[in-house]
Structure 1
Amino acid sequence: MIKLILKYLPSIVIPTIASIILTMIYGTNLSPDDYGFFSLFTTSISIVTVILFNFMITTVLRFYRVKKEENQHVTFFSTFLLTSFLITVIVFLVTSVFIGMKIGLLFSISLLVSVFLSFYLNQMRSTDKHLTFNLFKAIIPSLNVLFVLYLTYSNNLNMWTVIFAMYIPMSIVVVIYTVKTIKKSEIKFKYNIRELSNAASYGFPLALAAMLNTVISGIDRYIINFHLNNHSVGIYSFAYRIAELSMINLTLVIILALYPQLIKIHDTQGRARAEHTLNEYLKLHIIITIPFVILVWFYGEEIISLIFHDYVDSAKILKYMILGAFLLSLSYYTNKSFELTKTNMIMVRLLALAALVNIILTWFLVPYYHLMGAIIATFVSYFVYVVFSIISARNILKVHFPYKLFALVSAINIIIVFIFKSIINNPILIEICLSATIVIFINGVLGFILYKRKVLNF
């Protein structure tokens, strides 16, 4: 299992480093209003993607390897790419009417390249082409950083150029890979409506689930913008970006390795073995993520206040947002119970409940409690989903939340941080660096001991 994680580690480490650099630049050179617009633009891309394309994207991850073994992969893959292109043309025509041709074109091109990139990445994951996958995941954010650095140096960084800096590198990589794939005859002008129909039957529940997940994590920005303003969206989104850096990227390191392996184990060794593997990964997840939750809770406010002066208000909400991000990371594991056993409609119903709770609470809490209202709503909705999904999966593919391990890891890390906060008061950066170093080291030792004692048994 560790080997699998290490195989995909560069695909997380390099984008995370790039994201840290970009966060530093955005936090010191973009106003909250500009960052709010940028966040709404990228969130809109994500929402349209999950609504219109996600049923095909998830189908590629699940079945491309099978189709390749049956020598049907070219028609299978080409059908989805051609369909996506046609849908994007329709999106362009519609958006041009409502938001203008120039913005509609920018939105549609950004949408198309991000969708094609998702197809290619899932194709690589399905066939375990981890080297190419890692290369893609490294090149795009690295080029993004270079573009943003140039724009910053030339004093041209704003809400529009930051969008270009994000999607131009993506476009370059997608175009080059598309041409290469066409030359290798892995993409042809072939179309099979049956493949689309099969994808719909398998992928629509997952697409609906992804859409509801996006509603839970993204609809709050639109409600905040409606009740408050773009500035508040920027403050909220920046805090979310910090929480995402410290939590979601850590989770993806595990999930990228987990899901293809879990599919293979479930299909070849049965449900019981897949259940065991899923729960062992969940234990590892607790050991890896809890230390960062504790560090962000105690030091996140100081870091933002010290470095990002325009986003001081983000510092006040970060410690609460990290708790919601932790619950979101747990949902990646509970989802697998339904995805593997093809009981996706149970997941959809639970996510619909959580999304409804989120929308209602956000709508009524934001006018009174502002950004804290949105955080409370998101936390409650994810808590509802995680608890009910664990209960609902008991007779399907059971998720055993490791309460004792959770308490042990939390207690150890809180004690470590309290000790350092009582010993070292200034300067704050030295305290943070020392605390983080000791926390990571002790949790590494703890993980090794648990592995040797068979508490972690992969």
Structure 2
Amino acid sequence: MKFLYILQNKNVKNGILYTVFSFINSGISFILLLILAKYLTPGDYGSLNLFTTFVTLVNIIISLCTVSYVSICFFQKSKEQLNQVIVIALVTTTIMLFILSSILLAMPNYIEQIIGIPSKYLWLGLLICYFQVYNALNLDIWRLEEKPVQYGLYGVSFAICNFILTFWLIVGLHFNWAGRVYAWTLLSIIYFIISVLFLFKRRYLSISKPQLSLVKETFIYALPLIPHTVSFWLKQGLDRYIINYFHNQTSVGFYSFALNLAAVITIIGTAFNSTNSVYIYKKLSNGSAAVRDGLNRQATLMSVAFLIISILVGFCAYTLIKLFMNSYDESIPYIIPLCLGSFFHCLYLLWVNYLFYYKKTQKLMFVTLSTALLQIIFSMILTRYSILYTAYTSMVVSFITLLLVYILSKKILNNEFEVK
């Protein structure tokens, strides 16, 4: 009876649904990963990862992190104010698209040399990032509305279409790694249209002039998140460019392959956080000391679960390469440190939500940016000697970031509940 009662709990049911859809998405992405590794050389695989890294960076910059404020306003503002925040985010994104396009238009050769891929793909990367803001906004609102079925079906359908189209372009039409870029671009456009229609239908898109105070409030919250979010790109994305600088794109391919295998752990942690963050925000909005203790117990249990998952993923990654992917043998030494780094990131996700809820984004910015700079310094010094040093540097910095966020979150929680 107790088991049935637990299953009837809305947060548990939503968590199970998010996890199931996450496993489906991860499975599809993982199979695509193996196919790309089979049909692409390590050099081509490295080029694709350099493009993906570029898209990840632009994704951070293009909205100036204003979209992140939607999650907070969903529980703290009226529907009218929420819509105004959405308008602020989308107008900001459009302005940034023009600014970034102007920069790329002004110095295409210089940027192409830095990124390491032709500028025509960089233009497609800008379009992908712009359209993804709308897709991410649509998904985020479904998550906040606690509608995991719509959220999951939308994500799974994108993953399936992406798999089919990428496979056809790379294997059937021999577009090489560029086939992945073309598939990504086309699907981003299609799902952008779908997202806009859904947002209009649910009355989250409306033409209204935002209050000046709300504009100021949005940017006060969002701007400190830019260095915070960029710090994660610096920790993983910049490593690939540093490896490419001191070694070559083939080395980037080996490192990226191991990183993508370890990312399965992060994907699972992020999927759990999709529902857990909403659960935490709701609890904190009307919480007590008992709620705090319950959240602490939950974090402990999930830490053990993530440790078990990390061990299993590491073992499976090693076995997979040894038995089926011999051409990627050079990726094996990176598996342990990168899996541990992903494990620490999952624990970080368990605690960082408290900093978001209590709007301590400036403190979070200092933590993540300082640790990112620390990683850059050591990566620049050590990567020239061995890429393995890069992997272990990433692992250690992930642990330091987790430790600092944990200390901050515990302190803030204790202070908040003492006040209550």
TM-score of the aligned structures, taking structure 1 as reference length:
0.80
**Is the deviation greater in 13-22 or in 74-83?**
74-83
Report matched runs for 1:43-192 at 5 Å. Answer: 43-67=53-77, 69-99=78-108, 102-182=120-200, 186-192=204-210
Match of 1:156, SS? coil
| Aligned 8 A contact 1:216 1:358 in 2 | yes
Report how far residue 70 of structure 1 moved: 4.1
Cα distance in 1 between the residues matched to 2:91 and 2:247: 41
Q: Aligned to 1:285, which of 296, 302, 319?
A: 302
Deviation at 1:113, TM superposition (A): 1.4
The Cα shift of 1:200 comes to 0.8
CA shift for structure 1 position 229:
1.3
Q: Percent identity?
A: 22
Distance 1:297 1:136 in 2: 29
Q: What's the counterpart of residue 344 of structure 2? A: 327
3-state SS of 1:72 partner: helix
Question: Within 5 Å, which residues of 2 pair with 1:285-304?
Answer: 285-304=302-321
1:362-383, CA deviations, whole angstroms, 9 ceiling, x for partnerless residues? 11111112x2011111112112
Partner amino acid, structure 2, of 1:212? S
Code of the residue aligned with 1:206 in structure 2: it is L
Aligned residue among 375, 389, 393 for 2:409: 393
SS for the counterpart of 1:368 is: coil
Residue 305 (structure 1) shift: 2.6
Moved more, 148-157 or 198-207: 148-157
Residue 344, structure 1, aligned to residue 353, structure 2: no
Moved more, 253-262 or 340-349: 340-349
Q: Does 1:365 align with 2:382?
A: yes
**Offset at residue 98 of structure 1 (A):** 2.6
How far apart, CA to CA, are the structure 1 residues paired with 2:105 and 2:121? 7
User: In structure 2, what is the equivalent of residue 256 of structure 1?
Assistant: 274
Answer whether contact 1:79 1:196 (CA < 8 A) is retained: yes
CA 76–391 in structure 1, closer or farther in 2 if over 3 Å, else same: closer
Following TM superposition, by how much is the alpha carbon of 1:16 offset from its aligned partner in structure 2, in angstroms? 0.7
Quick check: 288-297 or 219-228, which moved more? 288-297
Please, what is the CA RMSD of the aligned residues? 2.2
2:381 maps to amino acid: F
Kindly provide the CA deviation profile for residues 66-112 of structure 1, in whole angstroms up to 9, marking residues without a partner as x.
44x44333333223223212211221221123337733431221111
**Amino acid of the residue matched to residue 60 of structure 2?**
V
Given that 1:296 and 1:319 are in contact with CA atoms closer than 8 Å, whether structure 2 keeps it comes out as no
- 1:350 and 1:88 map into 2 onto residues whose CA distance is 29
Which contiguous aligned blocks of 4+ residues in structure 1 show a shift greater than 6 angstroms? none
Equivalent-residue separation in structure 2 for 1:157 and 1:287 (angstroms): 43
Distance 2:180 2:68 in 1: 29
CA distance in 2, matches of 1:27, 1:303: 12
Compared with structure 1, are the counterparts of its residues 374 and 77 closer, same or farther at alpha carbon in structure 2 (3 Å cutoff)? same
* Partner residue in 2 for 1:41: 51
Are positions 1:239 and 2:258 aligned together? yes
* Unaligned ranges ≥5, structure 2: 1-10, 110-118, 415-420
Q: Supply the distance in 1 between the matched residues of 2:47 and 2:149 (Cα, whole angstroms).
A: 35
Paired position in structure 2 for 1:305: 322
Whole-angstrom distance in 2 between the partners of 1:394 and 1:304: 40
1:14, 1:137 within 8 Å by CA — same for their partners in 2? no
Aligned residue type for 1:130: P
Which residue is equivalent to 1:209? 228
**How much has 1:193 moved relative to structure 2?**
6.0
2:121/2:181 contact within 8 Å kept: no
Displacement of 1:64 in angstroms is: 3.1
CA separation in 1, counterparts of 2:228 and 2:83? Answer: 27
Distance 1:24 1:114 in 2: 25
| Structure 1 residues 49 and 251, CA gap change in structure 2 (3 angstroms) | same
**CA separation of 1:74 and 1:295: change in aligned 2, threshold 3 A:** closer
Provide the secondary structure at the position in 1 that maps to 2:286.
Answer: helix
- Separation in 1, partners of 2:147, 2:371: 35
Residue 38 of structure 1 aligns with an amino acid whose one-letter code is: L
The aligned length equals: 394
| Bigger shift: residues 175-184 or 128-137 | 175-184
After superposition, the Cα gap between the structure-2 partners of 1:339 and 1:79, relative to the gap in structure 1 and judged at 3 Å, is closer
User: How far off its partner does 1:183 sit?
Assistant: 6.1
Equivalent position SS for 1:367: coil
Contact 1:80 1:196 in 2 (8 A): no
TM-score using structure 2 length: 0.87
- Deviation readout 1:271-318 (Å, 9 max, x if unpaired): x35533432332232332222322344453231132223322112321
Matched residues in 1 for 2:317 and 2:333: separation? 9
Asked if structure 2 preserves the Cα contact closer than 8 Å seen for 1:92 and 1:104, the reply is: no
Whether the 8 Å CA contact 1:327–1:386 is kept in 2: the answer is yes
Shift in alpha-carbon separation, 1:79–1:103, aligned structure 2, 3 A: same
Aligned-partner SS, 1:396: helix
The separation in 2 between residues aligned to 1:254 and 1:117, in whole angstroms, is 20
